Copies of this chain bind each other. A is one copy, B any other.
């Protein structure tokens, strides 16, 4: 942690500006406040607008700023802790579930999903689309893939609404005994449909959580959920109470 090592790293101009801006955010601005426009900010800190934009992008990645068309740049509240896979033994759609079913269709899944589910290349599966809202804000969108073999007793779904169809599939799925869940998290970008549900522009960074639901020794269902990376901190296990705000919290010490 010596400064010698740090100094050997050439620090880009926007990186230094980011540090200065962070201090200004802490001392001069409150949550929700709109920042001055880019021209004024660039003038105040004596930097080119391109440098300013890079620094603002960094702060957006770290969840310190929100940038929205038509509104401008505002100071972000601390990220919300959103529980993921906390109950290892709960099926989707159970009583404690934070997700709301939106749609249900029978269609051929992407190849990688078919591989994980061991369904045939052209075999249709139930695809339940769900959304998750926390504190009044959309935080995640999900596609849940359920092969017909996981819901063998499902009778023809003639429910009038997409939501009712989704509930019927989930109810059948819950008859299986769930062994465990397995989760992966990676960085992705919001597709057009996700972007609309999450109230973001297409391409916005998202955290993609893939969950395998294991029952009877095989993957009985697969969920691909995209969480807003700007407002969410995913929690695994019960992380109750402690809030680590605003990104890495790593400073030379």
Contact = CB atoms under 8 A, between A and B. Distances in A.
A206 interface: yes
Given A1-B105, A182-B235, A253-B107, A188 B12 contact: no
Contacts of A45: none
A238 B110 CA distance: 23
A130 interface: no
B186 A233 contact: yes
A9 to B, nearest CB: 5
Given A103-B1, A191-B250, A234 B186 contact: yes
Among A1, A14, A57, A81, which residue has the most Cβ atoms of chain B within 10 A?
Answer: A1
B206 A248 contact: yes
Contacts of A15: 192, 202-203
A239 B186 CA distance: 14
A242 B219 contact: yes
A207 B189 contact: no
B188 A62 contact: yes
Contact of A188 (B14, B57, B247, B251): B247
A224 B250 contact: yes
A184 interface: yes
A212 interface: yes
